[in-house]
Amino acid sequence: MMQLPGGLMVNGERRRDFEFREMTGELERILCEPSVPKQGYVSSHAERVTHVLSQILASIGGQSATREIVNALSVGDRQFLMRQLSVYIDDRPVWLTAACRQCAEKFDVSFRHSELPVKPAGEHYPSWEIAVSLGQVIVCVPTGNDQLAIAEIVDHQQAMRRLITRLVKRKGCRRQFEAVEPEQLTVEDIERIEAAAEAMSPEIATELSADCPNCHAQNRLTVTPYGCFELSADTLFQEVHSIAMHYHWSERDILSLPSTRRQHYLQLIDHGRGMADHRHLAHGGLHG
Ligand SMILES: [Zn+2]
């Protein structure tokens, strides 16, 4: 199993290990839910990621994956885990259709989630003391908690200001950390802070390049880290339906099966059906 490109600080030690649970229909159902069920409000994308990861991870950094721990992961690690989940569920080649930016010709590109590059965290991860016009400040990598804190701010500028106050701290007197207001920082300071955060942050590729087979122009295609959110609930329900019809098991029992076993039963049902059709034809019956 791969390791987190960033990792979690556990008792002063950087831990990069994680383990997924065995996949079941129930976990697949959670992936298919468009948002976290909460009364009277639509959850943010970051909340959905936290919800899914806290259900699907068996452990992270040697601990159980509580919501608090999943929220404390760096943004890069959270994206990495979502992509690893796609690899874990199904690493067959994925096909993308692109329209060439040069000649507009459509072409298909295939890739595997496991082949997409990962940039490990920089050496100062997860926080780095740098000099700005105010003096020394500590810059932290953005985490799930930071994503959640700005999820509901619509204005981009305002969201950025909020993020800076969360990620940048100044060592005050008596070694206490003080918040830094964005107004205290110059444009150069902000550039330096952004560069430090970027150098530290782990990252996964969200683009791949492909040459157009027609005009050979290089095209950049977007590849989402959240491919497993595109699983179809309809397919899952159809599978549950087939097994329920055949074996008369309850929905709950079928969803609790490991996904590989559910697939095995579906194959058996299909096989049985094939055999039945075959017998039917062999006896010359074509009615029905
Ligand atoms: Zn082209």
DSSP-assigned states of every residue in 19-53: EEPPPBHHHHHHHH-SS---TTSPPPHHHHHHHHH
Ligand 1 centroid distance, CA of 38 (Å): 46
Q: What is the pTM of this model?
A: 0.89
- Looking at the fold, whether 87 and 145 belong to one and the same domain comes out as no
Ligand 1 centroid distance, CA of 101 (Å): 7
Domain that holds residue 197: 127-201
Ligand 1 centroid distance, CA of 216 (Å): 6
Q: Is residue 287 part of a domain?
A: no
State how far the Cα of 8 lies from the Cα of 57, in Å rounded to an integer: 14
- C-beta atoms surrounding 53 within 10 Å: 24
Closest-CA residue to 144 (of 86, 65, 257): 65
Ligand 1 centroid distance, CA of 91 (Å): 28
- The answer to whether 242 touches 268, Cβ cutoff 8 Å, is no
pLDDT of residue 43: 76
59: its two tokens: 């452990």
- Looking at the fold, whether 110 and 248 belong to one and the same domain comes out as no
Ligand 1 centroid distance, CA of 136 (Å): 50
- Looking at the fold, whether 185 and 53 belong to one and the same domain comes out as no
- Looking at the fold, whether 143 and 170 belong to one and the same domain comes out as yes
- Looking at the fold, whether 98 and 223 belong to one and the same domain comes out as yes
Task: Pick the last residue of a domain from 201, 216, 247.
Answer: 201
Ligand 1 centroid distance, CA of 222 (Å): 17
- Looking at the fold, whether 175 and 242 belong to one and the same domain comes out as no
- Looking at the fold, whether 48 and 183 belong to one and the same domain comes out as no
Q: Which helix (H) or strand (E) holds 119?
A: strand 118-119
Ligand 1 centroid distance, CA of 100 (Å): 5
- Looking at the fold, whether 148 and 62 belong to one and the same domain comes out as no
- Looking at the fold, whether 86 and 224 belong to one and the same domain comes out as yes
pLDDT of residue 285: 47
pLDDT of residue 34: 74
pLDDT of residue 287: 47
Q: Which residues of the chain have pLDDT under 50?
A: 285-288
pLDDT of residue 230: 87
pLDDT of residue 256: 97
Domains in the chain, number: 3
Ligand 1 centroid distance, CA of 213 (Å): 7
pLDDT of residue 267: 94
- Looking at the fold, whether 115 and 209 belong to one and the same domain comes out as yes
